[in-house]
Chains A and B, each alone.
Chain A
Amino acid sequence: MTEAVLFWLFAVVAVAGGLGVVLARDPLHGALSLLAAFFALAGLFLLLAAQLLAVLQVLVYAGAILVLFLLVILLLDLGPARAAASPPGVVKLAGALGALGLAGLLCTLFLSASFPPAVPPSDFGAVAAVGRVLFIDYTLPFEAISLLLLAAILGAVVVAKGKV
C-alpha cells in the first residue's frame, strides 16, 4: 500500500517535471522542473532497491550537473526568446507525434511482458554489494571512466577558454 502511494507520487512528479522541461519558455523554469524530476527519479530508484544509485542521483545529478546548468543559464543572461526561434507548427507536431509514437510503442511492449516474481538478496543495491560488483566485474570500465572524467575536465577548460 505504502509502496503504491509512493510509486504514484514519484511517477507523477517525474513525468510532470519532464513535461515542464519540454514546455517551459524560460530555460530557468525548465531547469527547476528537471530538479523535481531528478528527485522523483531518486525516489523511484529507492523503490527499486537501488539505494546507492538513489543517493548518487541526488548528489551528482541534482547537486552537480543541475547546478552547472543553472550557473550557465544565469551566466549567459539570455533574455526573452525571439519569436523566430520557435520552429514552425508542423515541425513541432511531427516531433511530438514521433516521440509520442515511440513512447507508446515502448509502453505496449513493456505492458505485454510478464515478469516472474523475483526475491533479491537482503543486501541488494547496498554500497558494499554494488562496490564489489564495480571493483571485481567492472574494473576496466571503472578505470576507463576515470580517464574519461579527466579528459572531460581538460576539454571543458580548453573549450570554454578559447574561441569556437
Chain B
Amino acid sequence: MILPSAYLVVGALLFGLGLCGVLVRRNALTAFMSVELMLNAANLTFLAFARHPLRGAPSLDGSAIAFFVIAVAAAEASVGLAVVIAVFRSRGTVEIDALRSLRH
C-alpha cells in the first residue's frame, strides 16, 4: 500500500525541478519544457488529492480540472512555440537574455 503522500511528494519534486529549470536555464525551449513539467506536477497533485481527499469521498472534479490543465497546456505550447519561431527568425537566437527590447 502506497501512502497518498508519496504521490504528492513526487509532484512536489517535479514542480521544484521545473521551477529550477525556468529560473536557471537560458534557452527558451528548455524553459518551456520546464513549464510543461510544472503543469504535469500540478496535474499529479490534483489527481492524488481527488483520489485520496483529506475529507469526504473521492471525487472526479480532480480529473475534470486535470483535463482542463492539459487543454490549456496544449494551447500554451502552440502559441509559445510560435513565438519562439518568430523570435528566432528576427534575431537568430532563442536565448532569453537576448530578448530585452521591452525594457524602458
Are B20 and A100 touching (Cβ within 8 A)? yes
Chain B min CB distance to A83 (Å): 11
Q: Which of A96, A124, A159 contacts B83 (CB 8 A)?
A: A159
Q: Which of A118, A130, A141, A157 contacts B51 (CB 8 A)?
A: A118
Kindly supply a per-residue 1/0 record for chain B positions 25-43, scoring 1 wherever the CB is within 8 Å of any chain A CB and 0 otherwise: 1110110111011001001
Chain B min CB distance to A96 (Å): 5
Q: How far is the CA of A162 from the CA of B103 in the complex (A)?
A: 22
In the complex, chain A residues whose CB is within 8 Å of the CB of B51: 48-50, 118, 120, 124
A-B contact pairs, 20 of them (CB 8 A): A15-B14, A21-B34, A37-B40, A47-B2, A48-B51, A50-B66, A52-B63, A56-B70, A78-B94, A87-B26, A100-B20, A106-B15, A110-B5, A110-B9, A115-B4, A119-B58, A125-B63, A149-B75, A155-B79, A159-B86
Question: With A37-B14, A48-B48, A68-B81 in contact, is A81–B27 under 8 Å at CB?
Answer: yes
In the complex, chain A residues whose CB is within 8 Å of the CB of B83: 159, 164
How many A residues are at the interface, by size bracket? Answer: 35 or more
In the complex, chain B residues whose CB is within 8 Å of the CB of A130: 60, 63-64, 67
Describe B's contact surface by its main secondary structure: helix
How many B residues are at the interface, by size bracket? Answer: 35 or more
Chain A residues engaging chain B, CB cutoff 8 angstroms? 3-4, 7, 11, 14-15, 18-19, 21-22, 24, 27, 30-31, 34, 37-38, 41, 44-45, 47-50, 52-53, 56-57, 60-61, 64-65, 68-69, 72-73, 75-76, 78, 81-82, 85-87, 91-92, 94-96, 98-100, 102-104, 106-107, 110-111, 113, 115-116, 118-121, 124-125, 129-130, 133-134, 137-138, 141, 145, 148-149, 151-153, 155-157, 159-160, 162-164
Are B33 and A56 touching (Cβ within 8 A)? no
13 more A-B contacts (CB under 8 A) besides A3-B2, A81-B27, A124-B51? A14-B10, A78-B94, A91-B24, A94-B23, A98-B20, A99-B20, A100-B16, A103-B13, A106-B16, A110-B9, A145-B72, A148-B75, A156-B82
